[in-house]
Amino acid sequence: MIEVRKAMVLDAGSMAQLLNEIIGIGGTTALTRPVTADDLTDRMASASDRSAWHVAVDAREVVLGFQWIAPHADLPPDAADIATFVRVGQTGLGIGSALFKKTSDAARQLGYVWINATIRADNEGGLTYYQSRGFRDWHFDEGVVLDSGQVVDKISKRYDI
């Protein structure tokens, strides 16, 4: 059974471990450097009051995935940016769907009109996930240089709340 709840500081270590495995494999996130629990704790603590962080956990409180929305400098004030991460080997099991239900409800409560997801163009799983939630393409960036020096294209998708 999957439970989705607000992320807490105590979740940061598990969230960092999950994210670092995804970063280590490469190819699905624009993040290229490992993160620490402190990095995520600081990010949650410095998040604006228009941010929301959720985790999906199993009955043993193991973090299976997490998702956040927050304002972004490149977006208008009525739009939130979203990021989603699901434990390696656990995709396709409803974790992302459960997270998005809570996150989209939070976005509505925070006064957002739409949610932006920017995905690497080579991240087929991410593109499929957001498309299946009802996101549609609205912007394309070519030749984005990641921190690692790798160059990728990115697709931004929009979900109207």
CATH number of the domain bearing residue 63: 3.40.630.30
- The total number of residues shown for the chain amounts to 161
- Note down the domain range covering 9: 3-160
Residue 60 neighbours by CB under 8 Å, 6+ apart: none
Reading the chain (161 residues) residue by residue, the pLDDT tens digits are: 899 999 999 999 999 999 999 998 876 777 878 999 999 999 898 877 899 999 999 999 999 999 999 999 999 999 999 999 999 877 777 899 999 999 999 999 999 999 999 999 999 989 999 999 999 999 999 999 988 888 999 999 999 99
Q: Please tell me the pTM assigned to this model.
A: 0.92
The crossing angle, in degrees rounded to 10, of helices 37-46 and 12-25 is 110
What's the number of domains the chain is made of? 1
